[in-house]
Amino acid sequence: MESHIQAKYDHWIKLFICLLVVMIAQVHGVHITRLHSALAKGAACLDGSPPAYYYIKGFGEGSNNWLVQLEGGGWCGSDEWCIKISKSHNGSTKNKSDTMTYGQIFSQDKAINPDFYNWNIVIVSYCDGSSFMSNVVAIDPKTNLTRRGARIFNVVMEDLLAKGMKDADNAILAGGSAGGLATILHCDGFRTLIPNASRVKCLSDSGFFLHAKDLPGANIRENAFANTVKYHGLAKFLPASCTSKMNASWCMFPENLIRDIRTPLFLLESAFDVYQLSVKFIPACPTDVPTWKDCVSDFNVCTLTQLQTIKDFRAALIKTLREISNSPSIGMFVHSCPRHGHFYDSGGWNNLPSVGNKTIVNAIGDWFFDRGFVQEIDTQHDAPQHCSKKA
């Protein structure tokens, strides 16, 4: 009887310790800052709600360093789609939680986040459908939609500069998915905001959206960005170094932008990005059994033809990345675990296998602090690997 009680006691102690570890690893009760004053400057989400961000104050030796994360949330290129998004958390801050919990690269646990644990961390809410690039002056009376993502970016940066970012020693502009593309587009502009900082670099997480015009779904990828550029009037805001050479909508594909970026940039990617595969690379016969959706959800059920399409995506991604990797200022970490995004769950930060003897944590830290040249690409696996849970 006593041994049974002791076993139960030991079990609960272990559970408590695990819970404590999780609590320490995450930053709880991170409060939202809603910039109501920005509305007077015309900066607003699709539905007219104010821009917002979550802020974790830095401390100790990191109190003068800043990491600004641009959330992702897709794009919209029509009244119908933008109205739909405006009623979700990707197009509005009305229903954003007053507090959030963050971990991974935002964690204040040095064991989990050794290089940035004591930095000022800002997570900027995504709510414009244009990767923080649009600036349409008129509000459409038919839809009542506001398309002013660039103004959102500008007012948030103004607020952060006033909070102390103007005196930063080190700073990173980061972003995931559509926010990762926004990071690439805003990278050089961000650098000019902090001219006296020792280091300013950019980190794009799952933001390298591949063109791959010879692979299935090329028309889907091209039309999606063409509609976004037209609807949000982005042509005049995209880099002239790109738009002077090609159709403006093609300048939403990072492979056509990165060569002209002067600020150091890190690309964090899965060679089997599940979002791109499921939404942007739909093959000619998506209703085959198993369906393409079933295949991307569980690679074990894919047909040989479907697996080859997935391998072709990987090969095209790696080929494209190698074509732009001739600059030492470009860092890379490309693994073979199927997922999209790495900063919002432990599976994408601490639990992925190493590439080239580096973890994601090591690779980003080494690159930012110039501890070595970092361009790690998994060339050993040409098929998706069984890793942590997909995201």
Q: What is the 3-state secondary structure (H, E, C) of the chain?
A: CHHHHHHHHHHHHHHHHHHHHHHHHCEEEEEEEECHHHHHHCCCCCCCCCCEEEEECCCHHHCCEEEEEECCCCCCCCHHHHHHHHCCCCCCCCCCCCEEEECHHHCCCCCCCCCCCCCEEEEECCCCCCCCCCCCCCCCCCCCCCCCHHHHHHHHHHHHHHHCHHHCCEEEEEEECHHHHHHHHHHHHHHHHCCCCCEEEEEEECCCCCCCCCCCCHHHHHHHHHHHHHHHCCCCCCCHHHHCCCCHHHHHCHHHCHHHCCCCEEEEEECCCHHHHHHHCCCCCCCCCCCHHHHHHCHHHCCHHHHHHHHHHHHHHHHHHHHCCCCCCEEEEEECCCCCCCCCCHHHCCCCCCECCECHHHHHHHHHCCCCCCEEECCCCCCCCCCCCCC
Asked whether 300 and 234 are in contact (CB, 8 A), the reply is no
Which residue, 198, 173, 148, 373, is CA-closest to 261? 173
Q: Annotated catalytic sites, by residue? A: 177, 273, 340
Burial degree of 179 (CB within 10 A; 0-12, 13-18, 19+)? buried
Which residue, 123, 129, 138, is CA-closest to 205? 123
